[in-house]
Chains A and B, each alone.
Chain A
Amino acid sequence: MTEAVKSLRQTPLPQDPRETGQQLRPGLWETVNQRYPGSMITKADYVPLARLAKPLSQARVTLISSCGVHAKTDPPMDVCHPFGDFTFRRVPSAARHADLIIHQLKYPHDDADEDINVIFPIERLQELATEGTIGGLTRNFFSFIGYNMDSARFERTVAADIARAVSEEEHADVALLAPA
């Protein structure tokens, strides 16, 4: 077990504001709403976090990210579409940084190009699986482009398809969500 993981385990977790229904950064949301009227998702309800059904050391972990990373052998996502790309990519969890590439328009990824793990911690998860901190990894991880102007269509397509793949194809016990 790494020192970082030991330290994290010894630190008491703060109360998750999502469990009380509070917005994490309400000021930011107002700013974005001014720049992109009507673009933000607002929901009165929220989905509570599920309880882990087995020890983390026995759990199969998947990674889902909006960073737009994909295998170099896969076609790039459409960064030009004004409403966003409604597809996702499966990223083999055994992939290395050299196998992957990011196509994005809306955020700087120079640092991620140097080390993909700063935004898509695939090699860190491989290490945690190897040392037994987590039970293992799903065969594939998942990636899509975060820029999207049609949240309802996104929910019907990308979100639903990834959720189905995570549960029915990959049989993940834990999903790590990494925004970009």
Chain B
Amino acid sequence: MSVPFLKEAVEAGAPDQLLRFVRLHLGDGNEETGRREIDKSWVEAVKILLQYQPVNEEFIRQVMQQDDSTLALLYFHLHFHLIRKSGEWIHDGSR
């Protein structure tokens, strides 16, 4: 989906179109796969937290002070980071 298409969806109040775009992106062109990939990254995050390893709260506080654009892009980076950690990589490209 093109960016103009997504902007029209925002103006039309059609978040389902944005969700479809995200699922297609994360699912390598397959919407159902993308849905599973989103679930998989959350499951991986919970599995990691269940280990109760020390966390750097100060780092998180500093990161959360960044601008919204940086944080939104970071959200996508974290998704792929967690997917890599899961060991189940469905994408064609770089592992």
Residues on A facing B (Cβ under 8 Å)? 35-39, 78-83, 102-109, 149-153
Contacts and interface: CB of A to CB of B under 8 A. Distances in A.
Interface of B is mostly: helix
Given A39-B5, A102-B94, 4 more contacts: A39-B2, A103-B93, A150-B3, A153-B3
B1 interface: yes
Interface residues on B, range: 20 to 34
B40 to A, nearest CB: 16
7 contacts: A37-B5, A80-B80, A102-B94, A103-B94, A107-B92, A109-B93, A150-B3
A35 B92 contact: no
B29 interface: yes
Nearest to B75: A80
A102 B3 CA distance: 25
A80 to B, nearest CB: 4
B45 interface: no
